[in-house]
């Protein structure tokens, strides 16, 4: 399962509760911290030179973002090799994604790349620019269909122009392929979820032969699953394409070394073998060897054994995702899309979480909640932040920001799962928005300066307190049912509100300075500014006009901001300012704000502890659900003028090995390419392992 960037006008259901960081476009962008805090714990190790360009390019509805790999230099040579080999393994399977997304993708992509590399004609013309945009859209989506909407891209240049470019560059493409590009009626939807058109036949994804119907697929898999194990069911259909055999019957073409995608899988295996040779510990090596075995055989039993081993391999600083994993691209939900993410432990975040976790009992004892609702023994929740070192396949250029695996329920129940937040990706995304949102919505210069200086740490501290202390705190009174039973559909927004309120209550507490987590209370003030703005105004950019707020985290934030504003406006904690027809919030007294967050925390905890459905419902319905249409329109107008594209995708950093005379790797240099086009052309050159047709 994955957590995605929440997009404007889209409401997603989130598996993880780390959603707060998934909406950076609606939050005040955190700008670099110019001061160097004394304590090493809060010293940011990002290579934050002023010159680093986070967002080198936008096109269509997309922004291209770069990310850095802080912490890579802390690894030893063997670990660096492991990271390098894993990223190479990931990229080796890149072509698989294109082919899985649509059977003609590779052919079309390669034709376009050939034109781009060899065309000598006019590159300033509108036609050429449109051809470049079309190609970039395809690179972004790993295919000719939009990565999110799944509609086929419409080229804004003519068939004749395209033919001219083909002739000028010696590019070959059949008339059938030209029809695919230019005829909007052919394979126009990657994933069709409208049953009237047929889930399988109406979808262009390459998981089933084109003439196979949904009914046939259903029969095929229900037959296969007749004898499935009740307690350990295999992931049937995960790594195969369903085709019609010579006898007319359906059969699976399995992805493995000697099967479908074998040419790319051979390369993946080569790099995984090297990775296994430099594994950090035995459990990690065992998992890698099982993954290699799985790629060699395609056996789903081995896939499960691998996942069990992977979940148990928790000791190292490096981890990875590599294989056919998420099934969102299959309208029937069987087929795993190829993806790879290489992760390094985020040492700073882990240290911060550990310090917070150690003090979890202190936070509980000093909380404003009623004594009967405090836990006697709080155990901090474990929450892992990682630094991404490279992504490929279905995770690139468009990436998740949180991943929770494995997907097999029985493995999760019996052996657990790994849940990670991709810290440097989230950070890069927030930087890419630029200072536009902050400038537009901040009340004054002081607020902007504070956000620039402390906003980033404030956000991280909020996340740490929310996850590690917030969700771990509090207890339910004896005889009261679980929140799901008592609070029903309000349980989830109330739980998120509770965790937010714990974070907000403590983020201005001197205890955090004492613990060395931040240098001053200003960090907490920056978070108050940001939280109120977001909950009261900017998160509305994600709601379509006329709609109400549905998503749990958004309801939580709206409720907290509106409840606190209503009271704070009366007691002088906060005011609403209108200037040039624009609305601003201005916090006047941060201590009073803290008291209000504390009061609300006490009440929300009481609601949970006593299972008070009516009070919980009233809080959420009265403060968290409705949208004021006037302010909504104002926010949408103001943010759309900033012109921030809704979708983001990433250029990967490049790890370049430095070698001794005998070829031995002695170290690595990290390069941060700034051209999306160059990276895509470079990848095409280095990682094209599949034939045009598979």
Q: How far is the CB of 160 from Zn ion (least distance, A)?
A: 55
Stretch that binds Zn ion, among 87-95, 163-171, 497-505, 573-581 (CB under 5 A): 497-505
CB 402 within 8 A of CB 16: yes
Pick the stretch among 60-68, 93-101, 300-308, 493-501 that binds Zn ion (CB under 5 A).
493-501
Q: Minimum distance from CB of 612 to Zn ion (Å)?
A: 21
DSSP SS3 for 99: helix
Min CB(471)–Zn ion separation in Å: 6
Nearest Cα to 280, choosing from 419, 19, 85? 85
Question: For residues 286 and 280, is the Cβ–Cβ distance under 8 A?
Answer: no
The window from 13-21, 107-115, 290-298, 336-344 that contacts Zn ion (CB under 5 A) reads 13-21
Q: How far is the CB of 556 from Zn ion (least distance, A)?
A: 8
- Taking the least distance from each CB to Zn ion, the nearer of 310 and 531 is 531
- Shortest Cβ distance from residue 610 to Zn ion (Å)? 21
Buried b (16+ CB within 10 A) or exposed e, 274-286: bbbebbbeebbbb
Rounded Cα distance, 87 and 354, in Å = 29
**387 Cβ partners below 8 Å, 6+ apart?**
69, 70, 71, 72, 343, 344, 345, 346, 422, 423, 424
Nearer to Zn ion, 91 or 465 (CB): 465
Tell me whether residue 472 or residue 499 sits nearer to Zn ion (CB atom).
499
Determine if the peptide bond prior to 406 is cis (ω within 30°). yes
The size of the interface with Zn ion (CB under 5 A), counted in residues, is: 3
Total Cβ atoms within 10 A of residue 94: 23
CB closer to Zn ion, 494 vs 655: 494
Pick 101 or 463: Cβ nearer Zn ion: 463
- Smallest distance, Å, CB 475 to Zn ion? 18
Question: Shortest Cβ distance from residue 498 to Zn ion (Å)?
Answer: 9
Stretch that binds Zn ion, among 88-96, 120-128, 353-361, 495-503 (CB under 5 A): 495-503
* Alpha-carbon span 473 to 467, nearest angstrom: 10
Q: How far is the CB of 24 from Zn ion (least distance, A)?
A: 16
Q: Select the span of 9-17, 101-109, 198-206, 407-415 touching Zn ion (CB under 5 A).
A: 9-17
**Rule CB under 5 A: is residue 276 a binding residue for Zn ion?**
no
Binding part of the chain for Zn ion, among 15-23, 142-150, 354-362, 522-530 by CB under 5 A, reads 15-23
For the bound state, the minimum distance from the C-beta of residue 656 to Zn ion, rounded and expressed in Å, comes to 39
**Nearest approach, Cβ of residue 268 and Zn ion (Å):** 35
Residue 29 CB, nearest distance to Zn ion (Å)?
22
Closest separation in Å from C-beta 552 to Zn ion: 9
Alpha-carbon distance of 637 to 620, in angstroms, equals 27
Complete DSSP assignment for 367-387? SSS-GGGS-SS--PPP-EEEE
- Only segment of 23-31, 114-122, 499-507, 656-664 that touches Zn ion (CB under 5 A): 499-507
Q: Which is nearer to Zn ion, 83 or 472 (CB)?
A: 472
The strand pair at 338-345 and 318-324 is best described as antiparallel
Longest dimension (CA), the chain: 80
Nearer to Zn ion, 262 or 470 (CB): 470
The SS3 assignment for 462 reads helix
Our finding on whether 17 is near Zn ion (CB under 5 A) is yes
Contact criterion met (CB below 8 Å) for 632 and 512: no
Dihedral of CA atoms 382, 558, 436, 64 in degrees, nearest 10, equals 50
Measured from each CB, the residue nearest to Zn ion is 17
User: What Rg, from alpha-carbon coordinates, does the chain have?
Assistant: 26
Nearest-approach distance from CB 18 to Zn ion, in angstroms: 7
Identify the H or E element spanning 670. strand 665-671
Only one of the segments 10-18, 323-331, 436-444, 676-684 lies at the binding site for Zn ion (rule: CB under 5 A); that segment is: 10-18
Among candidate residues 17, 26, 46, the one with its CA nearest the CA of residue 427: 46
CA distance 473 to 605: 9
User: Is 349 an interacting residue with respect to Zn ion (CB under 5 A)?
Assistant: no
205/469 with CB nearer Zn ion: 469
- The tokens of 618 are what? 């009233």
- Rounded CA-CA distance 270/275 in Å is 9
Q: How far apart are CA 345 and CA 522, in angstroms?
A: 28
Is residue 499 within the footprint of Zn ion (CB under 5 A)? yes
353: left (phi over 0), alpha (psi -120 to 50) or beta: alpha
Sign of torsion over alpha carbons 447, 54, 384, 398: positive
What are the residue ranges of helices labelled H in 262-332?
Answer: 262-277, 282-297, 300-312
Instruction: Using the minimum distance from each CB to Zn ion, give the nearer residue, 468 or 523.
Output: 468
Question: How many CB atoms lie under 10 A from the CB of residue 614?
Answer: 8
Among the candidate windows 72-80, 293-301, 498-506, 514-522, which touches Zn ion by CB under 5 A? 498-506
Q: How far apart are CA 389 and CA 685, in angstroms?
A: 21
Closer of 364 and 447 to Zn ion (Cβ): 364
CB of 422 to Zn ion, least distance (A): 17
Nearer to Zn ion, 27 or 104 (CB): 27
> Smallest distance from the beta carbon of 45 to Zn ion, in angstroms?
26
Nearer to Zn ion, 17 or 242 (CB): 17
**Alpha carbon distance 690, 254 (integer Å):** 15
To the nearest whole angstrom, how small is the minimum distance from the Cβ of residue 476 to Zn ion? 18
Of 447 and 496, which CB lies nearer to Zn ion in the complex structure?
A: 496
Q: Which of 311, 318, 386, 320 is nearest to 350 (CA)?
A: 386
Interface stretch with Zn ion, choices 114-122, 275-283, 307-315, 491-499 (CB under 5 A):
491-499
**Pattern 98-127, binding to Zn ion, x per CB under 5 A?**
------------------------------
* Of 496 and 519, CB closest to Zn ion: 496
Burial class (CB in 10 A: 0-12, 13-18, 19+), 144: buried
Give the residue with the Cβ less far from Zn ion, 487 or 635: 487
- What is d(CA 70, CA 388) in angstroms, rounded to the nearest whole number? 9
Least distance in Å: CB of 402 to Zn ion? 11
If the CB atoms of residues 19 and 519 are measured against Zn ion, the closer one turns out to be: 19
Closer CB to Zn ion, residue 22 or residue 68? Answer: 22
* Residue 651 binding Zn ion, by CB under 5 A: no
Task: Say if residues 565 and 534 touch (Cβ distance below 8 Å).
Answer: no
Q: Which stretch binds Zn ion (CB under 5 A): 107-115, 283-291, 492-500, 539-547?
A: 492-500
By DSSP bridging, strand 647-651 and strand 57-59 are: unpaired
Q: 420: which DSSP letter?
A: E
Residues that bind Zn ion (CB under 5 A): 17, 496, 499
């Amino acid at each position: 399962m994955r957590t995605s960037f929440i997009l404007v006008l889209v409401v997603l259901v989130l598996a993880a509760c780390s959603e707060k960081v998934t909406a950076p476009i609606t939050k005040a962008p955190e700008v670099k911290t110019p001061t160097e805090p004394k304590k090493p714990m809060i010293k940011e190790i990002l290579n934050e030179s002023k010159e680093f360009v986070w967002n080198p390019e936008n096109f269509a509805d997309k922004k291209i973002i770069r990310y850095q790999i802080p912490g890579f230099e802390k690894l030893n040579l063997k670990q660096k090799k492991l990271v390098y080999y894993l990223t190479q393994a990931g990229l080796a399977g890149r072509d698989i994604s294109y082919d899985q997304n649509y059977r003609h993708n590779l052919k079309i992509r390669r034709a376009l790349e050939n034109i781009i590399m060899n065309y000598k004609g006019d590159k300033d013309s509108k036609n050429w620019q449109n051809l470049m945009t079309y190609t970039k859209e395809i690179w972004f989506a790993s295919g000719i269909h939009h990565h999110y909407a799944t509609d086929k891209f419409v080229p804004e240049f003519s068939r004749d122009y395209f033919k001219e470019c083909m002739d000028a560059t010696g590019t070959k493409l059949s008339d059938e392929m030209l029809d695919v590009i230019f005829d909007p009626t052919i394979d126009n939807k990657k994933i069709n979820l409208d049953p009237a058109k047929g889930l399988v036949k109406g979808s262009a994804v390459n998981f089933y032969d084109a003439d196979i119907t949904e009914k046939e697929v259903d029969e095929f898999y229900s037959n296969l699953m007749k004898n499935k194990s009740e307690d350990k069911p295999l992931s049937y259909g995960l790594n195969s394409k369903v085709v019609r055999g010579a006898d007319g019957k359906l059969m699976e073409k399995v992805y493995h070394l000697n099967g479908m995608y074998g040419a790319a899988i051979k390369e993946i295996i080569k790099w995984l073998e090297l990775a296994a040779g430099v594994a950090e510990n035995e459990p990690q090596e065992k998992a890698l060897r099982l993954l290699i075995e799985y790629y060699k055989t395609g056996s789903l039993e081995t896939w499960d054994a691998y996942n069990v081993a992977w979940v148990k391999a928790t000791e190292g600083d490096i981890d990875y995702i590599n294989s056919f994993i998420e099934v969102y691209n299959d309208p029937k939900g069987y087929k795993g899309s190829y993806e790879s993410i290489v992760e390094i432990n985020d040492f700073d975040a882990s240290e911060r979480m550990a310090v917070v976790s150690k003090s979890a009992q202190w936070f509980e004892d000093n909380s404003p909640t009623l004594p009967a609702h405090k836990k006697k023994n709080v155990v901090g929740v474990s929450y892992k932040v990682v630094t991404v070192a490279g992504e490929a396949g279905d995770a690139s250029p468009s990436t998740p920001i949180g991943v929770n695996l494995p997907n097999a329920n029985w493995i999760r129940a019996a052996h657990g799962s790994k849940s990670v937040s991709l810290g440097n990706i989230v950070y890069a995304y927030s930087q890419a928005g630029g200072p536009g949102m902050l400038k537009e919505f901040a009340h004054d210069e002081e607020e902007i300066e504070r956000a620039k200086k402390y906003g980033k740490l404030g956000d991280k501290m909020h996340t740490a307190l929310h996850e590690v202390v917030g969700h771990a705190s509090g207890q339910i009174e004896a005889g009261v049912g679980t929140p799901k039973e008592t609070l029903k559909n309000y349980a989830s927004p109330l739980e998120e509100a509770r965790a937010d309120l714990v974070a907000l209550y403590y983020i201005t507490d001197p205890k955090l300075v004492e613990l060395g987590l931040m240098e001053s209370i200003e960090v907490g003030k920056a978070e108050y500014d940001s939280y109120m703005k977001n909950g009261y105004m900017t998160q509305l950019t994600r709601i379509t006009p006329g709609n109400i707020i549905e998503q749990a985290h958004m309801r939580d934030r709206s409720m907290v901001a509106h409840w606190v504003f209503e009271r704070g406006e009366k007691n002088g904690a906060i005011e609403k300012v209108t200037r040039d027809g624009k609305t601003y919030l201005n916090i006047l007294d941060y201590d009073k704000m803290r008291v209000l967050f504390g009061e609300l925390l006490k009440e929300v905890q009481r609601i949970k502890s006593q299972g008070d459905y009516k009070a919980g419902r009233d809080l959420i319905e009265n403060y968290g659900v409705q949208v004021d249409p006037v302010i909504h329109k104002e926010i949408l107008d103001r943010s759309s003028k900033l012109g921030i594209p809704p979708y983001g995708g990433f250029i990967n950093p490049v790890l370049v090995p430095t070698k001794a005379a005998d070829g031995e790797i002695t170290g690595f240099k990290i390069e941060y390419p700034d051209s999306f086009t160059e990276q895509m052309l470079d990848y095409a050159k280095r990682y094209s392992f599949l034939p045009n047709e598979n």
